[in-house]
């Protein structure tokens, strides 16, 4: 008795290679290349890199940046800034005995209506009291809310990663207490403007939506 074997498809040969491209703010550089048998499967994928990889500045190797694929055009998978985070080892290295760490988490809206969650840490030169911590946290909150409202998302990201936000908060907070360092140690894009108002920044592949 004869049996007929079906044609076995080589799934690897069916895949095409795509370039994952950084947003214009980061020079549209190629972040990575990846194979896929369907470009729609790339949408929603998150890519991690460091600011050092983008700028070549070794002093920025501790800055992790996350991008998410939002669209595919030809062989290019286009991304959007998803957030950033400073390496945990780096943040631990900043902690000193007999000093205070004041943290704040703030949801801010930019001039072009993006909503970003920003995590800020202020490190004092010496240990400060509760009322001083409260005053410093208020400075952090008021400044970042005011600053974000005056800048577009790209401008805000540029000032966060470039250290300008940290420097300006430190300058204001020194009026309350001696400040050793301020770091915007994490950010996360929450909402983006859409045709019907704000919508969640998280992107899901149309294929995953169909399977849900």
Residues 102 and 138 in one domain: yes
- Any domain includes 37: yes
Range with the lowest mean pLDDT among 42-51, 117-126, 196-205? 196-205
Q: Closest Cα partner for 83 from 102, 64, 99, 69?
A: 64
- pLDDT over 70 at 87, yes or no: yes
Beta-strand (E) ranges in 37-155? 46-50, 63-73, 76-86, 101-109, 115-124
Same domain membership, residue 70 and residue 109 = no
What average pLDDT does range 95-122 have in this prediction?
A: 97
Residue 54 has φ and ψ, to the nearest 5°, of -90, -30
pLDDT in tens, 136-145: 999 999 999 9
Range of the domain at 66: 16-86
Q: Is residue 72 part of a domain?
A: yes
Please report the pLDDT score of residue 11 as a whole number.
64
Q: For residue 205, is it within any domain? A: no
What is the average pLDDT across 105-131? 97
* Residue 3 clears pLDDT 60, i.e. is over it: no
Residue 15: what pLDDT?
86
Q: How many domains does the chain have?
A: 2
Q: Are residues 94 and 82 in the same domain?
A: no
27 and 73, same domain (yes or no): yes
Neighbour count for residue 119 (Cβ, 10 Å): 18
**pLDDT confidence of 211, banded at 50, 70, 90?**
low
Residue 1 confidence class, pLDDT cut points 50, 70, 90 = very low
CATH number for the domain that contains residue 159: 3.30.479.30
Provide mean pLDDT across the span 63-87.
97
Same-domain check for residues 78 and 110: no
Contacts of 196 (CB under 8 A, 6+ apart): none
How far is Cα 165 from Cα 97, in angstroms, rounded to an integer? 25
Tens digits of residue pLDDT in 149-159: 999 999 999 99
Asked whether residue 72 falls in the same domain as residue 168, the answer is: no
Total-model pTM: 0.90
Condensed to tens digits (0 to 9), the pLDDT of residues 27-72 reads: 999 999 999 999 999 999 999 999 999 999 999 999 999 999 999 9
Q: Report the first-to-last Cα separation within the chain, whole angstroms.
A: 43
Domain end among 59, 86, 113:
86
Are residues 110 and 170 both part of a single domain?
A: yes
Q: Are 104 and 127 in a shared domain?
A: yes
92 plus 177 within the same structural domain: yes
Same domain for 144 and 51: no
Same domain, 57 and 123: no
Q: Can you tell me the mean pLDDT for 172-187?
A: 97
Same domain for 104 and 81: no
Please indicate, yes or no, if residue 207 is contained in any of the structural domains. no
Q: Tell me the percentage of the chain whose pLDDT exceeds 90.
A: 86
6-18 residue pLDDT tens: 554 556 567 899 9
Query: Do the domain assignments include residue 9?
Result: no
């Amino acid at each position: 008795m004869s049996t007929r074997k079906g044609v076995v498809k080589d799934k690897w040969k069916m895949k095409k290679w795509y370039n994952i491209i950084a947003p214009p703010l980061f020079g549209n550089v190629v972040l990575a290349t990846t194979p896929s048998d369907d470009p729609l499967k790339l949408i929603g994928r998150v890519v991690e890199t460091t600011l050092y990889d983008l700028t070549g500045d070794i002093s920025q190797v501790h800055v992790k940046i996350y991008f998410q694929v939002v669209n595919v055009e030809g062989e290019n998978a286009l991304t959007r800034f998803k957030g950033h985070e400073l390496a945990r080892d780096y943040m631990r290295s900043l902690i000193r005995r007999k000093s205070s760490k004041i943290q704040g988490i703030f949801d801010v809206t930019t001039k072009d209506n993006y909503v970003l969650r920003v995590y800020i840490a202020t490190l004092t030169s010496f240990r400060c009291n509760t009322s001083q911590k409260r005053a410093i946290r208020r400075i952090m909150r008021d400044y970042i809310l005011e600053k974000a409202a005056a800048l577009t998302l790209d401008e805000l990201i540029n000032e966060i990663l470039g250290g300008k936000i940290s420097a300006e908060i430190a300058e204001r907070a020194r009026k309350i207490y001696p400040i050793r360092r301020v770091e915007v140690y994490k950010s996360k894009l929450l909402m983006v403007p859409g045709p019907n108002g704000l919508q969640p920044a998280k992107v899901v592949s149309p294929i995953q939506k169909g399977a849900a």
